[in-house]
Amino acid sequence: MTQLALVIDLNVCVGCHACVTSCKQWNTSGQAGPLFDDNPYGQDPTGTFFNRVQTFEVGEFPCTETIHFPKSCLHCEDAPCVPVCPTGASYKRAEDGIVLVDYDKCIGCKYCSWACPYGAREFDENQKVMKKCTLCVDRIYDTTIPPERRKPACVLACPTSARLFGDVHDPESEVSIAIREGGGYPLMPEWGTKPANHYLPRRKTKLRIHEDELVRADNPLRKEDIRHETGKDVTLDDWLM
């Protein structure tokens, strides 16, 4: 079984929002109709987005670290938003694990968004239906696009390659290896939703140098170390030298 997902490397994300804008651009231009913005140039602009980049601060000044944190639907393997939908408009595809909303069936009751602990669903106030990340399902299978470009728009847009895309059920896929070897983790695992998307943690590159790597313990010339201490007393050595 396939489970497509994103792996987002928090160690690499610089918080530039390129994924946010590219997501909006792609998904507002597709066959599913626009992702509306209300008042885009007015005082209180608001709109529907599939993907947001947030910023968190860890620690206390001056020992702080800034974490840029992109968040979109995690395409949970045990998606709690799906069974609650009274119409079946919310569904999880068996073939690739993508969680989608059928905009023609959705009655806009918002119940699914209550059942998503991640706040990944946004209600479109103009179309009056629930919207969420589709993993660019209208792009990744499009055979008119060159194969290497058949990825979600956000993945292609990321200037630092912080976003990986692939099948997390294939143990040899790029994303599975990244999760396995890079310490990938899911968000809020305590809810048991089994998010398919994973995050790679911040990492510090540190080199540990041991004392005996600076001063070789087994140095054959050690006896001639000119830095040896010379005593004040006159010894037999002084006479022999």
Please pick, from the candidates 101, 162, 168, 179, the single residue that binds ligand SF4 as defined by CB under 6 A. 101
DSSP letters along 21-69, please? HHHHHHHHSSTT----EESTTSSS-EE--SEEEEEEEEEETTEEEEEEE
Q: Is 55 in the site for other proteins (CB under 8 A)?
A: yes
Q: Is 108 in the site for other proteins (CB under 8 A)?
A: yes
In the chain, the amino acid numbered 194 is K
- Contacts of residue 48, Cβ cutoff 8 Å, sequence gap at least 6: 35, 36, 37, 122, 123, 124, 125, 131
Q: Is 87 in the site for other proteins (CB under 8 A)?
A: yes
The candidate with the shortest Cα–Cα distance to 99, out of 124, 114, 123, 116, is: 116
The answer to whether 91 touches 99, Cβ cutoff 8 Å, is: yes
101 touches, from ligand SF4, other proteins, none (C-beta below 5 to 8 Å by class)? ligand SF4
Q: Is 32 in the site for ligand SF4 (CB under 6 A)?
A: no
Nearer to ligand SF4 by Cβ, of 11 and 87: the residue is 87
Q: Is 53 in the site for other proteins (CB under 8 A)?
A: yes
Q: Which stretch binds ligand SF4 (CB under 6 A): 33-41, 53-61, 114-122, 166-174?
A: 114-122
User: What residues numbered 156-215 form the site for other proteins, per CB under 8 A?
Assistant: 185-191, 199, 201-202
72 touches, from ligand SF4, other proteins, none (C-beta below 5 to 8 Å by class)? none
Q: Which stretch binds ligand SF4 (CB under 6 A): 106-114, 148-156, 158-166, 198-206?
A: 106-114
- Contacts of residue 9, Cβ cutoff 8 Å, sequence gap at least 6: 161, 162, 163, 164, 178, 182, 199, 200
Rounded to 5°, angle at Cα 17 from 27 and 10: 115
Residues that bind ligand SF4 (CB under 6 A): 73-76, 79-81, 85, 87, 89-90, 99, 101, 106-112, 116, 118, 120-121, 130, 132, 193
